Amino acid sequence: MAEHVTGQVNTDHYVRFVDVQKSYDGETLVVKNLNLEIERGEFLTMLGPSGSGKTTCLMMLAGFEPATHGEIFLDENPINNVAPHKRDIGMVFQNYALFPHMTVAENLLFPLQVRGMNKSEQARRVKNALDMVELGAFGGRRPAQLSGGQQQRVAVARALVFDPKLVLMDEPLGALDKQLREQMQYEIKHIHEKLGVTVVYVTHDQSEALTMSNRIAVFNDGVVQQLAAPDALYEAPENAFVAQFIGENNTLSGKVSSVNGSTCTVDIEGGSTTALAVNIDGIGSATSMSLRPERVTVNPPNGQCPNLFDARVQELIYLGDHMRTRMSVCGNDEFIVKIPNAAGHVHLVPGANVKVGWQTEDCRALDSPS
Amino acid sequence: MAQAEMTGDMMRTADGVPLKLALERALFRSRLRAVMLVAPLFFFLLITFVLPIFDMLFRSVENNIVADILPRTVVAIEAWDETSGELPGEAVFEAIVKDMADGKRDKTLGRVARRLNFEKSGMASLFRKSGRKAPKITEAPYREQLLKIDKRWSDIDLWKLIKREKGAFTKSHFLAAADMQYTPDGSIEMRPENRQIYTNLFGRTLWLSGLITVLCLLLAYPVAYLLATLPLRTSNLLMVLVLLPFWTSLLVRTTSWIALLQTQGVINDLLVGIGLIDDDSRLQMIHNQFGTVVAMTHILLPFMILPLYSVMKTIPPSYMRAARSLGATPFTAFVKIYMPNTVAGVGAGSILVFILAIGYYITPALVGGRTGSLISNFIASFISGSTQNWGLAAALGVMLLAIVLVLYFLYDKIVGINNMKLG
Ligand SMILES: Nc1ncnc2c1ncn2[C@@H]1O[C@H](COP(=O)(O)OP(=O)(O)O)[C@@H](O)[C@H]1O
Ligand SMILES: [Mg+2]
């Protein structure tokens, strides 16, 4: 909190949102009580559906929107009342916001000139920054003469050229096509690793978030649903929204009938299953369980799966490395099973009746939305 | 669909028609349609815009009056050597007497009188007086009798003038428009200082138009900025206010400035009322340059706001944010990033307002008075009334057109006409 003295707190908490709230119209909260700590040198992604308040958080951090309540710290200094140009935060915008009347080199010079840096240092930095994004030969061009990917790189270079304390990126790859987007994801990640700069990245694309981030804050409706590393987020979602939002997911709804330490038994249509008790309100409460498609086994050998159910194959989609199979299981017609295209895998036809089974720890009993 | 295939060198469609020809045919109908759609406007512009301009160009040098009305004289005077220092011979005097008699009969003599009076004062009265008596001279000696009617006929300069202006084309309108004149012996000189009107007038027109353009720019820039950046509902309301003048008659707007600015007008009454000025020292704010500048700035303001607005609207707000995040103060960001991106709008608005101002007529005519009137008011005054002089009006018009074209050319060289963005 504000009264903390610099020496007493963990200085690795480089950026801190403390009880931050934001409302544009005085009626609804767009950001509801945000508490978020970002480590020095971390690549943190804010991931969430459109309208969940990610950009708003970024704008508050950059200083373009005031926080309605709460305090934001950068390197342990409260920055609520610091003007944007004094925050020393680099920013990459979705439309790049390169200045069209300046050449690429002039764009990069701009932050150095307004800082009054000496000429030789300016030239050195511009050259380094352009080399870093492999655009050394393009300094004399206008932004309009560059391709989308090149403009993107210039925008990244410009946000980094003045050694900012922090770099913010708001859906910077949104305008690129898929192939270029994936290539740029790696490039940005490598630049981050090389420079060790702290990055706060915003996207609504979960695979982008999983690829690039050290940690991901999943936003929904102005609230951080879960803050975790990519693998934890995928494998151990803590609520139904995260389970549904990250990766492909099967949802089974039911009622908790008994709790046994870290596991529980849940009654569902057509029987009952054991599951990890992750986020339930106790016996009798409604729960929605999350089960990843690749963790479901078709026709498992006897005794291998504690949970075994009848299933009816609805649709088969051949995807090369695996077969995506839609089945009806326990009243859920959208139950997806991924069958790897390995030697000796089962051959299914639509309409076939099969058994599907899963392990207790692969089935996570979570809160029941609505 | 016919597939293109190669036969020899030429691409052909599947049924053997050369591809080029097939394409021509396919495009013909749409081309025809396009031509038909623009044809009415094309002819309208041809008749109401292009032809009048050529007519004006022609009239500025046209000089058929002397040759038409004094046909015998222009033939006879051919043989006269104007450098000899002597009056023309009897034949020329006979010719002019007969021409004047015909002119009197056909009632055309007044025209040539007015035309020559424009070159040399006193010619009108001379022709009118001589024309009345010329029909009575029916036999030689013509020269003696004419000199008896008026001895100004013995002025050699007069005959030089007639010989000079007998041709089908004349420079004299352009000379007059540039405040120059012929000396009696036919060379060209500047008019005496006190008779130079038009260079000053052109200078004043350019200066006032420039001033009005600058004032419009200063007033319009912040308004356009607001229009482009305010939330939609507020900016729509503001836009209505900007466009409101277009729904009001130009005459009404101009006359309401008279009501405001005149010595017994609203502003003076107000100033006197609050005791800021005495009743007998009311400000003269109209019928002078001040009136012209104020009223025209007001009337031309929308023509500056709209191009500026249309350019500013296309500047994403993220430019300013990017500049701020890169460390620029709001002022630096505005000057270094925002303003350079509005150059196209500034150029378009300025050239539009300037060109409109340079040829503006009605407002300076109503509120300009003597010191605040512009070149167009003089042009208009030569088109009708007692001072009618189509040639001079046309020459002034051509010079105005030339100035506009030169400015347009310079603008194209400096800013590039393709960068211009209007509405
Ligand atoms: N400038 C603004 N004025 C009013 N409402 C806004 C403004 N910016 C965003 N919002 C609202 O705030 C909510 C969150 O927006 P945003 O932060 O842009 O979400 P995200 O970036 O996650 O898509 C949305 O409902 C949006 O309509
Ligand atoms: Mg956003």
B27 and B83 share a domain? no
Compute the average pLDDT of residues A63-87.
94
pLDDT tens digit string along B398-420?
999 999 999 888 888 877 766 66
pLDDT tens digit string along B212-254?
999 999 999 999 999 999 999 999 999 999 888 888 898 999 9
Tokens at B135, concatenated: 């029909």
B193 found inside a domain: no
> For residue B373, what is the domain's CATH number?
1.10.3720.10
What is the SS3 assignment for A33? strand
pLDDT tens digit string along B98-114?
999 999 999 999 889 88
B58 found inside a domain: no
The ipTM (two decimal places) reads 0.84
Closest-CA residue of chain B to A158: B326
Tell me how far the alpha carbon of residue A243 lies from the centroid of ligand 2, in angstroms. Answer: 22
Establish if A24 touches chain B: CB-CB under 8 angstroms: no
B203 and B306 share a domain? yes
> What number of C-beta contacts closer than 8 Å exist between A and B?
65
B233 and B136 share a domain? no
Task: Give the pLDDT of residue B2.
Answer: 43
Residue of A110, A117, A125, A200 for testing the chain B interface, max B β-carbons within 10 Å: A110
Atom of ligand 1 nearest to the CA of A171: 21
B177 found inside a domain: no
B341 and B412 share a domain? yes
* Contact in structure between A230 and A210 (CB atoms under 8 Å): yes
B56 found inside a domain: no
Structural domain of B97: 65-169
B268 and B352 share a domain? yes
B352 and B245 share a domain? yes
Task: Give the pLDDT of residue B423.
Answer: 53
B251 found inside a domain: yes
What pairs with residue A254 in β-bridges?
A: A287
Q: Which residues contact A49 (CB under 8 A, 6 or more apart)?
A: A204, A219, A220, A245
Taking 50 as the threshold, does the pLDDT of residue A1 lie above it? no
Residues of A in contact with B328 (CB under 8 A): 85, 110-111, 114
B179 found inside a domain: no
Establish if A115 touches chain B: CB-CB under 8 angstroms: yes
Per-residue confidence at B422, pLDDT binned at 50, 70, 90?
Answer: low
pLDDT tens digit string along B324-353?
999 999 999 999 999 999 998 998 899 999
Closest-CA residue of chain A to B319: A97
Q: Which of B119, B148, B169 is the last residue of a domain?
A: B169
As a whole number of angstroms, the distance between CA B154 and CA B259 comes to 57
Among B322, B328, B340, beta carbon nearest to A93: B322
B241 found inside a domain: yes
Helix axes B90-106, B109-119, angle to 10 degrees: 120
* Residue A66 preceded by cis peptide, ω within 30: no
Q: Which of B148, B169, B190 is the last residue of a domain?
A: B169
Helix (H) or strand (E) holding A13, with range, is strand A13-22
B45 and B70 share a domain? no
Q: Total structural domains in chain B? A: 3
pLDDT tens digit string along A157-180?
999 999 999 999 999 998 889 999
Does the beta carbon of A203 sit less than 6 angstroms from any atom of ligand 1? no
Does the beta carbon of A120 sit less than 6 angstroms from any atom of ligand 1? no
B89 and B18 share a domain? no
CB contact under 8 A, A84 and B340: no
CB contact under 8 A, B341 and A97: no
Chain B, 283 to 312: residues with Cβ < 8 Å from chain A are none
Among A85, A90, A101, beta carbon nearest to B329: A85
For the beta carbon of residue A68, count every other beta carbon within 10 angstroms: 15
Tell me the backbone φ, ψ of residue A321, rounded to 5 degrees. -75, -20
Per-residue confidence at A51, pLDDT binned at 50, 70, 90?
Answer: very high
Q: How far is A143 from chain B (nearest CA, A)?
A: 13
State the pTM of this model.
0.81
B79 and B108 share a domain? yes
Taking 90 as the threshold, does the pLDDT of residue B208 lie above it? yes
- In chain A, the domains with their CATH numbers are 13-240 (3.40.50.300), 248-366 (2.40.50.140)
B135 and B218 share a domain? no
Tokens at B324, concatenated: 């701020």
Q: Given strand A89-92, what is the order of strands in its sheet?
A: A89-92, A166-170, A198-203, A43-47, A215-220, A223-228
Query: With left for phi above 0 and alpha for psi between -120 and 50, is residue A97 left, alpha or beta?
Result: left
Does the beta carbon of A52 sit less than 6 angstroms from any atom of ligand 1? yes
Q: Report which DSSP code applies to A347.
A: P
B212 and B341 share a domain? yes
Residue of A324, A349, A350, A328 lying closest to A337 (CA atoms): A324
As a whole number of angstroms, the distance between CA A295 and CA A249 comes to 10
B34 found inside a domain: yes
As a whole number of angstroms, the distance between CA B362 and CA B373 comes to 10
B117 and B233 share a domain? no
* Contact in structure between A62 and B301 (CB atoms under 8 Å): no
Strands, DSSP E only, in A211-291? 215-220, 223-228, 250-260, 263-268, 271-277, 286-291
What is the SS3 assignment for B152? helix
